C-alpha cells in the first residue's frame, strides 16, 4: 500500500499556516479545523516547517506568558520528516514509530500535497485487513 492510497481514502485537504502568523493564530486554526498540526509554508507554497500540538506545549512550558504573540517561524519544527506520495505505507509507519511523530507532510515532486497521521494509516490498514478477511471467509465457506 502506498501513501497515495491513504491520502485518497482520507482526502488531501491541506490546512497550513504562514511563518509570520502568531502562535495564537495557529492555535485558533488548529481548534477551528479540529486538527493536530499545521504545515508551515512560505509564500511560494514550499514546506518549511510544521507546527504541532507538542510545539504548543513546549512553548507554554519554556516561555510561559506572552507565547501567543510569538511568530510561528520562531517556534515551528524546521525541516520536518516528510514522505512522498509513492512511498510504501509500512516504511512511513516505521519512521513515524521510530521518530515518535504522529503526523507527516506528504510531498509529490517537492510540493506539499497532504498530511497523514498514524490514525489515517491505521484506519486504511484496518479496512484493508477487514476486506481481506471477508474474502477469505467467503472463500472458505464456499469451499465447504
Give yes or no for a contact between 92 and 121, defined as CB atoms under 8 angstroms apart: yes
For the segment 105-117, the average pLDDT, to the nearest whole number, is: 94
- Domain residue ranges in the chain: 3-143
Distance CA 58, CA 64 (A): 9
pLDDT digits over 43-89, tens only? 988 999 999 999 988 888 888 778 888 999 999 999 999 999 999 99
117: left (phi over 0), alpha (psi -120 to 50) or beta: beta
pLDDT value, residue 108: 94
What is residue 86's predicted lDDT score, i.e. its pLDDT?
A: 96
Cell of 37: 498540526
Neighbouring residues of 2: CB distance < 8 A, sequence distance ≥ 6: 85, 86, 87, 88, 89
Average the pLDDT over 24-52 and give the result: 95
pLDDT tens digits along 114-144? 999 999 999 988 888 888 888 888 888 876 5
CATH code for the part of the protein at 3-143: 3.10.580.10
Give the pairing type, strands 37-41 and 111-117. Answer: unpaired
Amino acid at each position: 500500500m502506498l501513501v497515495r492510497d491513504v491520502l485518497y481514502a482520507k482526502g488531501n485537504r491541506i490546512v497550513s499556516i504562514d511563518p509570520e502568523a502568531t502562535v495564537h493564530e495557529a492555535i485558533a486554526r488548529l481548534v477551528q479545523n479540529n486538527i493536530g498540526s499545521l504545515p508551515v509554508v512560505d509564500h511560494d507554497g514550499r514546506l518549511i516547517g510544521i507546527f504541532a500540538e507538542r510545539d504548543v506545549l513546549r512553548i507554554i512550558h519554556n516561555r510561559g506568558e506572552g507565547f501567543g504573540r510569538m511568530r510561528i517561524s520562531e517556534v515551528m519544527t524546521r525541516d520536518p520528516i516528510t514522505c512522498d506520495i509513492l512511498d510504501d505505507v509500512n516504511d512511513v509507519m516505521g519512521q513515524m514509530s521510530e521518530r515518535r511523530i504522529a503526523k507527516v507532510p506528504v510531498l509529490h515532486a517537492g510540493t506539499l500535497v497532504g498530511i497523514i497521521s498514524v490514525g489515517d494509516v491505521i484506519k486504511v490498514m484496518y479496512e484493508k485487513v477487514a476486506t481481506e478477511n471477508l474474502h477469505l471467509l467467503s472463500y472458505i465457506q464456499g469451499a465447504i
